[in-house]
């Protein structure tokens, strides 16, 4: 079983990069892309591959029976639930564990210019507000999506963004007076829209309207976007309608 790590802002996850055919991991049913959550009931969600390897070596050394317990999270389960959403139904998954988010050097010291920070457990929730009249295929990575949407800050209720919303009498910079906008799912430029869109719109069908409750880790983090009314560590709500998929406004 080969492990790798992915870092997003202050969040670090270790996942299964590959499983050798015929290996013990393969026989146990461990799958590629599973996230390593815990090892012998100790969380691994804030360490890297080296840290997991050190935890494993210590667990094997201390185990009287040579048995080590791994816990994994399968991200495909959430995606499958998104593709089977029904009207009024919601699905939720954890995207960042609670705890220290301080950016540190390898020796544990705080990086220059950084402060000690922490966060509560963060989850993304997706609800179906309006079902599609007909759906043969939902949105997947690399699809060109045309959407209309409205964004607000959960903590304050303030509307800060939308495809046909004016702020202080003018269109939102970069949006103009467009009633919809386009982006490629999973390939949007970093910072243009919250990464939570790429997570919560998987499987969405033409004509379907979803509500995404996006935590700071998949929104604009600890800095926020004050000039647009998004405070630090804000949870965002987006109501999003998929207008067309790859240029077609009818079910595909």
Asked if residue 45 lies in contact with residue 79, where contact means CB atoms within 8 angstroms, the answer is no
Average pLDDT for the chain: 87
Helix (H, G, I), strand (E, B), or coil: what is residue 57?
helix
CA distance 95 to 8: 11
Q: What is the mean pLDDT of residues 113-118?
A: 79
| pLDDT over threshold 50, residue 174 | no
| pLDDT over threshold 70, residue 172 | no
Asked if residue 163 lies in contact with residue 118, where contact means CB atoms within 8 angstroms, the answer is no
pLDDT 10s digits, 80-102: 999 999 999 999 998 888 777 77
Cα–Cα distance list, 154 to 23, 212, 216, 226 (Å)? 47, 11, 11, 15
| pLDDT over threshold 70, residue 133 | yes
* pLDDT-based confidence at residue 113 (cuts at 50, 70, 90): confident
**Predicted local distance difference test score (pLDDT) of residue 110:** 84
| pLDDT over threshold 80, residue 48 | yes
pLDDT 10s digits, 26-40: 999 999 999 999 998
Task: Name beta bridge partners: 225.
Answer: 230
Backbone phi, then psi, for 2, in 5-degree steps? -100, 130
* pLDDT-based confidence at residue 45 (cuts at 50, 70, 90): confident
Encoding tokens for residue 19? 């499983």
* pLDDT-based confidence at residue 168 (cuts at 50, 70, 90): low
């Amino acid at each position: 079983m080969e492990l790798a790590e992915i870092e997003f802002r202050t969040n670090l996850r270790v996942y299964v990069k590959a499983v050798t055919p015929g290996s013990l991991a393969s026989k146990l049913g461990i799958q590629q892309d599973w996230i390593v959550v815990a090892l012998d009931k100790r969380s691994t969600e804030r360490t890297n591959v080296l840290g997991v390897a050190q935890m494993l070596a210590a667990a094997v050394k201390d185990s009287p029976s040579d048995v080590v317990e791994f816990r994994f999270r399968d991200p495909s389960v959430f995606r499958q639930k998104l593709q089977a959403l029904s009207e009024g139904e919601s699905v939720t998954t954890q995207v960042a564990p609670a705890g220290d988010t301080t950016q540190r050097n390898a020796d544990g010291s705080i990086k220059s210019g950084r402060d000690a920070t922490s966060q509560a457990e963060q989850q993304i929730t997706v609800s179906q507000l309006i079902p599609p009249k007909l759906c043969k295929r939902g949105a997947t990575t690399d699809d060109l999506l045309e959407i209309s949407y409205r964004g607000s800050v959960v903590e304050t209720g303030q509307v800060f963004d939308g495809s046909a919303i004016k702020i202080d009498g003018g269109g939102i910079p970069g949006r103009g007076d467009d009633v919809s906008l386009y982006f490629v799912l999973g390939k949007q430029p970093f910072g243009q829209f919250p990464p939570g869109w790429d997570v919560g719109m998987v499987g969405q069908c033409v004509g379907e309207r979803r509500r995404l409750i996006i935590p700071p880790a998949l929104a604009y983090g600890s800095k926020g976007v004050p000039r647009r009314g998004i405070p630090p560590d804000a949870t965002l709500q987006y109501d999003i309608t998929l207008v067309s998929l790859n240029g077609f406004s009818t079910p595909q």
